[in-house]
Structure 1
Amino acid sequence: MPSIAFGGVAEKPLDSHETIPAELHRAVMELPEEDRRDRAKVNEAALLFSAKQTRQG
């Protein structure tokens, strides 16, 4: 089941042009490589990104 923070992007069709915001990608890619393989840590990074966007909003 995909994270709500990613909005189902992980299950999009291969020919879809749907993307995630660059800032969200950056937040996840800034995690250590080992943490990027941990769904809970990736979801946490995504939720922190979302909360930051909401506050700036």
Structure 2
Amino acid sequence: MAYKVNPDDCINCGACEGECPVECISEVDGHRFVNADECIDCGACAGVCPSDCINPE
């Protein structure tokens, strides 16, 4: 199961993008987006998110 960013809560800090081992997070329309096709479900992004807006789909 891939992780997903809730865009309403994302503060676009970029902490998650730097933590992703497969580089599947990018910025889209002012918030971060997880490419579900590339996500390996490690949860590293969710662990560093200061706004707790990244969760499993």
Under TM normalisation by the shorter chain, which class is it? under 0.3
Q: TM-score, normalised by structure 2?
A: 0.28
Question: Greater strand share, 1 or 2?
Answer: 2
Q: TM-score, normalised by structure 1?
A: 0.28
Comparing both chains, which one has the higher relative contact order based on Cα–Cα distances under 8 Å and sequence gaps of 6 or more? 2
**Bigger CA radius of gyration:** 1
Question: Greater helix share, 1 or 2?
Answer: 1
